[in-house]
Amino acid sequence: MENLDGVNKGKIIQATGVVVDVYFSYMIPPIGRKLIIEDSGLLLEVVEYLKNSTVRCLALGETHSVKRGSIVIDTKEKVRIPLGKDVIGRVLNIFCEPLDDKPPYETEEYREIERSAPSFSAIDSDLKIFETGVKTIDFFAPFPEGGKIGFFGGAGVGKSVIITELIHNIVYSHQGVSVFLGVGERTREGYELVEELKSKDLLKTSVLIFGQMNETPGIRSRVALTGLTIAEYIRDVLKKDVLLFVDNVFRYAQAGSEISTILGRMPSDTGYQPTLSQDIGLIEERIVSTPDGAITSAQAVYVPADDFSDPSVQTILNHLDSSVVLSRELSEKKIYPAIDPLKSTSVILNPVYIDQEHFDCVQSARKVLERYNELKNIIAILGIEELSPQDRVTVERAKKIQKFFSQPFFTSEAYTGIKGVFVPLNDTVTGVRSIINGELDDVPEDYFYMIGSINEAKERWQKEKKN
């Protein structure tokens, strides 16, 4: 149907969950087109063509009020969001509507949320280290500026805590703009993050976009696209470096799987949507640096049942420059951050990009830790007394390295009562080298727990000896 003023209108003929079928008698809108239900204002996005001039749409909101026979208006545009320089410092939903009880910001332009990645020639591919102040990350899996780093782990091992700490450390030290995407996570966690950023006076340089666990899969799958569009606007128009934090990329893949199931598509052998690689690539390939600025991304990735062979986890891993794996075993030992140094790595862990001393120190530390892992079964069965003197020394040094890589965080001060620390990379390298070289063999391993630089362990030990 079409009214006199040229507006293309359709009629709802079926609604199942978040999937709405709309019949158009005049002109069928193309895939990706935004539609509006006239009586409720609910937005729909065209995702499939059906027979008999009907399109299948995905509802971008709750569908409780959707009725058969309701009129649907074709907006003749794709899903767009309003953007302006005042977007910085705001908490928003996927349509850039305020969630922080403040009035809407001034709009300077509109952008479609589904955009192509920059061409290969437009990407700035220089690799250099981006210090985070977190010892394990900077040492074993250095973060490339303008790159993508993923934090992999099951439930309760500390992914969100590390992301929050990185927001604190990086914004303080690099003076960039942080964009946080809450994709399918708990509403409580989103609220706590906002309050944490307010208390640290970091909200004014951040943009937070939420599509949380209580939202429909349509919203959860589109929040990443909205956040990326905002990050690209800050990079391209405001000419600022952007720090993009995503919690959680797995939930984005999961939302796509839910939508695929609702649409009746045949799943792949592993149960995920057949377009899994395409869906992940749609967001990951847009996270790049250009001559205008860099988008540097840190992403939490939930690992279902601690199974790293899960197809979604492997697909995400293929797009990353650095991967940080969190260990449940270390978490149970109360070593936080519970990062497994033997499974974590980075593309810039190479003498071409980092200092030779740093590279050599990483290789030495890994040899010590690998030898310790080999000896664990012998120690468990026969006891440490059955080891050779050399292996005993290796075990003691490995335990000290393990404890040294625990670190008090700024964002957990209220829970631990220990003041957080930002540790420069040079201090970390010096500390590890001192342990490996045997300079601290007389210091008990407990003195290395929850410290910043190695000097703290020395000072604690000297103070204890005097007493």
Give the active site residues. Answer: 159, 185-186
Distance CA 1, CA 425 (A): 66
Bridge partners (DSSP) listed for residue 92: 98, 209
Q: What is the largest CA-CA distance in the chain?
A: 92
Q: Which residue, 456, 425, 361, is CA-closest to 173?
A: 425
Burial class (CB in 10 A: 0-12, 13-18, 19+), 126: exposed
Which string of b and e fits 178-191 if b means at least 16 CB within 10 Å?
bbbbbbbbeeebbe
Bridge partners (DSSP) listed for residue 297: 148, 244
Residue keyed to tokens 């592993």: 270
Distances (CA, A) of 277 to 27, 50, 269, 271, 316: 32, 25, 14, 13, 8
Tokens of 402: 């393990």
134's CB contacts (< 8 A; 6+ apart) are 162, 165, 166, 169, 337, 407, 423
Distances (CA, A) of 214 to 20, 127, 186, 426: 20, 39, 8, 44
3-state secondary structure 330-347: HHHCCCCCCECCCCCEEC
Distances (CA, A) of 174 to 56, 128, 170: 46, 14, 6
Helical segments of 320-419, H only = 328-332, 356-382, 389-404, 413-416
Residue keyed to tokens 């991304």: 297
What is the H or E stretch that residue 47 is in?
Answer: strand 43-49
Rounded to the nearest 5 percent, the helix, strand and coil shares of the chain are 40, 20, 40
155's CB contacts (< 8 A; 6+ apart) are 302
In this structure, the number of other CB atoms found within 10 A of the CB of residue 405 comes to 26
